[in-house]
A and B are shown apart, each in its own frame.
Chain A
Amino acid sequence: MDGLLKDRLLEEGERVAGSKRADTIEFIANNDSSSTLRFSSSRFHQGISVSDASFHIRVTLGRKIGVASTNSIERSALDRCLDEALSIARTTREEPFLLRIPGPCRYSNVSSFYASTARASNEEKAALVSAGFKEGAPSGVLHSGALATSVGEIAVVNSKGLKAYHPYTSAHLSSVASSGDASGSGSFVSNDLTMIDIKGLMRASAETCLKSSSPKEAPPGVYRVLLEPAAVSELVHWLSYTGFGAKGFHDGTSFLSERLGEAVTGEKVAIYDDGLDGGGMAVPFDFEGAPKRRLSLIDRGVAAGVAYDSLTASSVGGESTGHGPFPGDNEGPFPEHLFMEGGDAAASGMLSLLGEGILVKSFHYVNGLLNPRESLMTGMTRHGTFLVRGGAVKCALRPMRFTENILEAFRRIESVSRETAVYPNGSFPLGSVSVPYILINGFSFTS
């Protein structure tokens, strides 16, 4: 993987941001080299190495804003990019507000870079995965998935004197073990490749696969469910996408619109965003250079907050919460370092607490746009759905579709595990969602 370009990024940032050609100038650089080894049926079929960068320049002329970006660090390309941003700012209309960008900031010390991950060769990574193939081989289980690593850096410089830089590495294994119609899955994300127990995850997914064979049909209906963290992560991700961003909150489509301060779930639910928490994929600042800090979203069941960047905050006279996306991202800010707090139950004891119901390992193709105002979502169970009787798995079930108002379902949470697991969140390597096991007394399966 390519080396980092810290000095050059900051030098170009200072040159562009210091050019005094606009009232404010922001320079946001992300240089990233990624490697993805994809495997299917226990053979490697796609090996992908990509070195790319993005350089976003946002300028203001009074209340006019212009944004341009390029993926070339060549000085001539950056100058053209600045010219384009200025041209747009001159052409466009005035905003009803003045964009307020952050000035110089102090950042928490966050460690996201592991040299061993940056240096890991494709041969080493292929060998780790190949060893995992052997975990399923004796029982005829085949593995499909990907081991992806990246090394990159973010630099933000602006004309108010802000200067921020952060290097990172990331590693993510996703593995599906399959045999006929049975399957199991495993996933782990970390800044440090050596933290991923690749063989262990592939072994566990093979074990789930074997338990999933000969599935029975369960009729649609309302069941007690134990959702494992992989399943919970999908629900929390979609809650974030449909409800925790400032744009949806203010246009009225969010389930939190006009409900801050109200109880929206049961008291066992606490969801927050914290880019500084090393329990997730930490990063010290957002893509505007605003410092990361903890933002409570649902606090003991009560709607507590939504995520803002400088643009959305300026438009409503508020403050950024440190969730600035790349300039030009029209979807606006979202929490990208999500945590659902663990509870007091031991995960190992939750099948007993469930007693009678359904154990769901993970969901597939969840969609939260049915009625975002009511947090109505649908999706399929996948890679392990089990009927539980008397606190033990009785048999595997075929995949089932749920359709459920998730906030209402979260009112019916009976138990939350102490243990949590981390999953990727969004396309940027440093987004994550950390969630526990949850036991819900009543979850609707519709087909």
Chain B
Amino acid sequence: MKGLFVSVLARLKRLGADYADIRHERITTESLLSLDGEVEGFSTDTSAGVGIRVLYKGAWGFAATNAVNEALAMKAAEEALAIAKTFSSVNTDKVRLSETEPFVECYSTPYKIDPFNVPPEKKISLIAGVTGAALKEKGISSAEAFLEFSKAEKEFCSTEGAIIAQTILTSGGGYHVIAGDGNDAQVRSYPDGHHGLFATRGYELIDELDFMGNLPRVLDEARSLVSARECPSGARDIIIDGPQLALQIHESCGHPAELDRVLGAELGFAGGSFLTIDKLGSFKYGSPVVNIYADPNEPGGAGSYRYDDEGVRAQRVDLVRGGVFTGYLTSRETAPSIGGSSNGSMRGEGWGGLPIIRMSNICIEPGNGTLVDLIADTRDGLLMSVNRSWSIDDKRLNFQFGTEMAWEIRNGKLGQPFRNPVYYGTTPAFWASCDAVCGKDDWRIWGLNSCAKGEPMQVSHVGHGASPARFRSVQVGVGKI
């Protein structure tokens, strides 16, 4: 691919481009789905193409094509340049890029077992075994299990001399069971809700998750929900488990810390951010125990990489330190607006996605103690577990989350389960009410495969390190009006 890259970039320079980069990706995906003991879906997908980004007189153009040959790549390059020229003639302000070193490197995310070399029979046996076993249990009406593996082979080259090859291997999976009595259907998931847990790891992740070993607990919890009481309303102390806290971080810290959102790039679609530039370095985002950082170097995170899609080296950045808002996710274009250089947060979905600022691994630092300690330290509260629904306003302030399950906490002990729990609040007040974050023993990287942003919509893998945390006097229970 290097010869094609050199030809395209040389031509763009001759045609007057101030800057250009070209990215080829080949993404191979394998998906398996089991429903009620049967294999409902087993498919593979291969997608390859090239995306070219051009900066001309302070304006961007991007074009991508699935036909990877020199003639069509050159045509896409000229189209990207034409778009940039059109925008340049209309826009009055001009894009300025922060400096970056032109890195030359090959990198692959580490793994132990290549999932594409694991016999399909083993994968089928796992997911069909889980759902089949679940369905035999009394009170269980349906069970679904899924696995997904992807390998993205990326090559990047820029007119500044960067030449970077990366291979990102991702594994993920999970299952959920549905318990029903004809009048209600309650879902309980493992290890996380919706699309399961994803990580830049190999099949060892799936082995470690121990689907079967966790099934009895998941089944018991699902069945208990059918006869459980509705979660009561009111202001309560709540402990949020790791998977749910991961999504809370995602929605209320990760997205508002994207500097392109702050500067208005998503105003026409997803919205803006309450974390405006005047707040940087002084705004009280949360309590002093709240420390949140972004780090694409986090081992095994679903959002891990060595270089972003602008060729910038991945860096750790503190978003919240001691409760104070301290940093943004930035790009080469946006970083100068806060007087800095890019911290390497630009990614596109595959070859056809224009790189935009994306969360990598946004993590809350572990605190002290265990979940058992935290429950023991809570007199009257709720433990809320695994996301079921999520909604937040376009500034990322007013949120409401539903979880699959909650348990009452009385005098330091877990009590009866509740169904349909919901909590809500506003972001800074919520994080200000955080008085404890559990320690390393309960901390892990959770991973989502479905973070959506941009137009056309791009979907990205993101990681979130989290341990359970406690929040005081949170509004609970608007699920029933």
Contacts and interface: CB of A to CB of B under 8 A. Distances in A.
Given A46-B60, A330-B33, A380-B391, A399 B398 contact: yes
Contact of A43 (B63, B67, B93): B93
In this complex, the interface size class of chain A, counting residues with CB under 8 Å from chain B, is: 35 or more
Contact of A44 (B41, B87, B182, B394): B87
Nearest to A368: B389
B120 interface: yes
B102 interface: no
B455 A148 contact: yes
B33 A174 contact: no
A253 B79 CA distance: 47
A88 B400 contact: no
Interface in A341-373: 364-371, 373
Contacts of A235: none
Interface stretch (A69-77, A102-110, A156-164, A276-284): A69-77
Contacts of B402: 369-371
Interface string A213-257: 000000000100000000000000000000000000001110001
Of A50, A68, A144, most buried by chain B (CB within 10 Å of CB) is A50
B420 interface: yes
Interface string B137-175: 000011010100000000000000000000000000000
A305 interface: no
A52 interface: yes
Contacts of B142: 251-252
Interface string A309-331: 00100000000000000011010
Contacts of B90: 43-44, 126, 130
A91 B266 CA distance: 45
Contacts of B66: 51-53, 71-72
Interface in A167-200: 174-176, 178
Interface string B243-277: 00000000000000000000111111101000000
Contact of A36 (B60, B267, B400, B456): B456
Contacts of B60: 45-47
A145 interface: yes
A367 B49 contact: no
B267 A69 contact: no
B163 to A, nearest CB: 24
Interface string A375-411: 0101110100000000000000001010111000000
Interface in A26-57: 34, 36, 38-41, 43-53
B389 A49 contact: no
B269 A174 contact: yes
Contacts of B420: 370-371
A70 B185 contact: no
Main secondary structure of the interface of A (DSSP, over half): strand
Contact of B267 (A51, A93, A122, A176): A176
Contacts of B63: 48-50
A143 B90 CA distance: 14
B261 to A, nearest CB: 10
A146 B268 contact: yes
B269 A253 contact: no
Nearest to B51: A50
A38 to B, nearest CB: 6
24 contacts: A40-B267, A46-B356, A49-B63, A52-B49, A52-B352, A67-B41, A68-B45, A126-B87, A145-B268, A145-B269, A146-B455, A174-B455, A175-B268, A252-B142, A252-B180, A253-B185, A257-B185, A327-B43, A330-B146, A366-B391, A369-B388, A379-B391, A401-B391, A446-B481
Given A72-B46, A371-B479, 7 more contacts: A36-B456, A41-B264, A49-B63, A50-B456, A52-B66, A81-B46, A144-B267
Interface of A: 34, 36, 38-41, 43-53, 65-72, 77, 81, 84, 88, 91-93, 95-96, 122-123, 126, 130, 143-146, 148, 174-176, 178, 222, 251-253, 257-258, 311, 327-328, 330, 364-371, 373, 376, 378-380, 382, 399, 401, 403-405, 427, 444, 446-447
Interface of B: 31, 33, 38-49, 59-67, 76, 79-80, 82-84, 86-87, 90-93, 120-121, 124, 128, 141-142, 144, 146, 178, 180, 182, 184-185, 187, 263-269, 271, 352, 354, 356, 388-394, 398, 400, 402, 420, 422, 424, 455-457, 475, 478-479, 481
